[in-house]
């Protein structure tokens, strides 16, 4: 929070708008659907941030299990879309929003706020998102090994009612470190039937330590 400028505090005493730091803004939102195990979403317009935008997903509740992953399409300054990946030829469907700590001019009237370097921090015409939950209380459950010698570890965490919340998938789509140069492949599984969120890692070398955070957010009303 800046020592001078504009600061807006909500009823809970939380800084909502500040003249130094940008809020998490909603850059794109909607639904995804596709067949053959993947759904492609095209950003319109393209997202022009240098850093990769944050992808938040909420798969439709099918009363069972849904495995999802995600990948961005494009390059820094020109992110043109994303792919949502299912499993076992599952046709992924659900809601998404794409966020970033940067605003873009959108309102014809209202309020705009820039920082000292001229970066647009707030535009009253943009939707914003709020982080709702963050936890690292994974429970190691089991490990299996396939014929090639790769280990898959399974970790679980409670999955309570999501209402309008979406899971940030970026960190669940990257390889993690292991004791070799291959790394650990990762995956997220929503188990709606048992209200559990599962994270699995697959690697040739089998480290058990796991503390990747789970981050949920929702579009503010």
124 CB neighbour count, 10 Å cutoff? 13
Peptide bond into 14 cis (omega under 30): no
Residue 21: CB atoms within 10 A of its CB come to: 13
Q: What is the pTM of this model?
A: 0.84
Residue 4: per-residue pLDDT: 63
Share in percent of the chain as helix, strand, coil (round to 5)? 0, 50, 45
* Coil/strand/helix, residue 54: strand
Cβ neighbours of residue 7 closer than 8 Å, sequence gap 6 or more: 1, 15, 17, 18, 19
- Which pLDDT score, from 0 to 100, does residue 206 have? 67
Bridge partner list, 97: 29, 56
Cβ-Cβ contacts under 8 Å for 150 (sequence gap 6 or more): 202, 203, 204
How many whole angstroms separate alpha carbon 58 and alpha carbon 39? 14
Q: Are 80 and 42 in contact (CB under 8 A)?
A: yes
Sequence ranges of the domains in the chain? 7-132, 135-219
Q: What is the pLDDT of residue 3?
A: 58
The DSSP 8-state label assigned to residue 184 in this structure reads: B
Give the residue-averaged pLDDT of 93-102: 91
| 103-156 confidence digits (pLDDT tens) | 777 777 778 888 877 788 778 778 889 888 888 888 999 988 888 888 888 999
Q: What pLDDT, on a 0 to 100 scale, did the predictor assign at position 81?
A: 96
The token duo for 148 is 């090639």
Give DSSP secondary structure letters for 124-152.
Answer: TTS-BEEEEEEE---EEEEEEE-TTS-EE
Using only C-alpha atoms, the chain has a radius of gyration, in whole angstroms, of: 19
Overall residue count recorded for the chain in this entry: 221
Phi then psi for residue 168, to 5 deg, are -70, 120
72 SS3 class: strand
pLDDT in tens, 157-216: 888 877 789 999 987 766 666 666 667 778 888 999 999 999 888 887 767 777 788 899
């Amino acid at each position: 929070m800046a020592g001078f400028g504009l600061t807006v505090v909500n009823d809970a005493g939380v800084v909502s708008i500040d003249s130094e730091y940008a809020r998490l803004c909603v850059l794109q939102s909607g639904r995804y659907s596709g067949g053959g195990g993947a759904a492609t979403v095209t950003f319109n317009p393209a997202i022009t941030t240098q850093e990769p935008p944050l992808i938040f997903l909420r798969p439709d509740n099918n009363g069972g299990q849904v495995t999802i992953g995600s990948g961005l399409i494009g390059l820094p300054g020109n992110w043109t879309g994303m792919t949502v990946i299912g499993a076992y030829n599952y046709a992924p469907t659900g809601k998404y929003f794409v966020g970033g700590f940067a605003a873009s001019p959108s309102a014809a009237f209202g309020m705009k706020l820039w920082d000292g370097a001229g970066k647009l921090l707030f535009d009253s015409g943009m939707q914003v998102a709020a982080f709702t939950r963050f936890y690292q209380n994974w429970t190691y459950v089991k490990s299996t090994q396939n014929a090639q010698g790769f280990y898959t570890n399974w970790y679980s965490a409670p999955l309570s009612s999501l209402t309008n919340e979406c899971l940030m998938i970026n960190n669940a789509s990257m390889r993690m470190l292991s004791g070799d140069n291959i790394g650990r492949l990762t995956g997220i599984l929503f188990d709606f039937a048992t209200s559990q969120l599962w994270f699995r890692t697959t690697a040739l070398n089998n480290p058990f330590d796991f503390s990747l955070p789970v981050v949920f957010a929702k579009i503010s009303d």
